[in-house]
Structure formats: structure tokens, C-alpha cells
């Protein structure tokens, strides 16, 4: 096998690997987000069901449960949000690295020896690689809605629950 063919296979394998990594990061991100929403609302649903079934729990007991659940919800939200942002940074490092690799492939005119070797390395876990781009900012904004809108809703609902 010619060295050019081996190099071509390495470059094309790296393109395929980066595409697979992007999809894997995307899958993990949505599992984190849906898992967070499931845990958050299931926990609150169980609490409210328990309160409705046990009318004997009164005053201070309800307040402690609800305030405790708010603290648990804040912790779950912050933890999920930080993990989500971490995976998004990894994902967009790979996306930007793939974009650079594709540009280098296009500019190489078939001479794969001209492709910089740093573009053939793992990109997601390289903290020196850039990740900021329009897609990253949009994904972070979506994550903020996923994590903080439900929390805000639950805090407001808790305030009404405690007043009534």
C-alpha cells in the first residue's frame, strides 16, 4: 500500500471519527437535559403526591419539605447546567476542528501531506482548542432555558404552595 493511500485513510478516518464524536456529544447532552427534567419533575411530583395523600402534615413540616426540595432542585439545576456546558465545549471544539480539517483537505488538492498534523488529533478534550462560535452560544442559550426555566417555575409555584 502506498504511503499516500495510508495518509488518505488516516485523514478520512479522522473526519469520520470527528463526526462520530460530535454525534456522541450531542447524544450525551440531550440525555443530560432530559434526565434532568425527568428527575426534577418526578421529584416534585412525588413530593406533591405525598403532601396530597397525607393531609396530616401541617405547617412547619410542609414548609421544610418544600424549602428542602427547592434546595435540592437548585443543586440539581446547577450541577446539570455545569455538566451540560462542559459537554457543549467538548462538542464545539470537535466541530471547529472538523471545520478546519475540511478546509485543509479542500486546500490540499489531494496532497494529504500538506494537512497539519494537529488537525488529526483528538480535539474534544484539548483545552487549548477554541470552542466559541455562534452554534456554541445558541446551544448554551438553549441549555439555560432547559435548566433555569423549570427551576424558576418551581420556585414560583413553591411560593404559592407555601402561602396557601
Q: Identify the residue with better confidence: 59 or 138.
A: 138
DSSP the chain: --HHHHHHHHHHHHHHHHHHHHHHHHHHHHHHHHHHHHHHHHHHHHHHHHHHH-TT--THHHHHHHHHHHHHHHHHHHHHHHHHHHHHHHHHHHHHHHHHHHHHHHHHTT-GGGS-GGGGS--TT-TTS---SHHHHHHHHHHHHHHHHHHHHHHHHHHHHHH-
Residue whose C-alpha cell is 427534567 = 37
Tell me the pLDDT tens digit for each residue of 19-59: 999 999 999 999 999 999 999 999 989 888 887 777 666 55
Q: What is the DSSP letter of 132?
A: -
Q: What mean pLDDT, rounded, does the chain reach?
A: 88
- Closest Cα partner for 83 from 138, 124, 28? 28
Crossing angle of helices 134-163 and 60-108, in 10° steps, is: 170
55 secondary structure, DSSP code: T
The whole-number pLDDT of residue 30 equals 94
Q: What is the pTM of this model?
A: 0.82
Q: What is the residue whose three cell numbers read 459537554? A: 87
Answer with the residue of higher pLDDT: 56 or 66: 66
Q: What is the pLDDT of residue 82?
A: 96
For helices 3-53 and 60-108, angle between their N-to-C axes, nearest 10 degrees? 170
* Burial of 48 per CB tally in 10 Å (0-12, 13-18, 19+): middle
Amino acid at each position: 500500500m502506498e504511503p499516500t493511500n495510508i495518509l488518505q485513510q488516516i485523514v478520512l478516518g479522522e473526519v469520520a471519527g470527528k463526526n462520530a464524536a460530535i454525534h456522541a456529544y450531542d447524544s450525551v447532552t440531550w440525555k443530560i437535559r432530559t434526565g434532568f427534567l425527568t428527575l426534577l419533575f418526578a421529584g416534585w411530583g412525588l413530593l406533591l403526591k405525598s403532601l396530597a395523600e397525607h393531609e396530616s402534615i401541617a405547617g412547619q413540616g410542609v414548609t421544610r419539605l418544600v424549602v428542602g426540595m427547592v434546595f435540592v432542585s437548585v443543586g440539581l439545576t446547577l450541577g446539570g447546567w455545569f455538566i451540560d456546558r462542559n459537554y457543549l465545549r467538548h462538542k464545539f471544539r470537535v466541530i471547529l476542528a472538523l471545520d478546519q480539517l475540511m478546509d485543509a483537505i479542500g486546500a490540499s488538492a489531494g496532497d494529504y501531506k500538506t494537512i497539519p498534523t494537529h488537525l488529526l488529533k483528538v480535539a474534544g478534550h484539548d483545552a487549548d482548542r477554541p470552542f466559541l462560535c455562534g452554534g456554541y452560544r445558541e446551544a448554551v442559550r438553549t441549555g439555560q432555558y432547559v435548566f433555569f426555566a423549570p427551576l424558576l417555575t418551581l420556585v414560583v409555584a413553591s411560593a404559592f404552595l407555601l402561602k396557601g
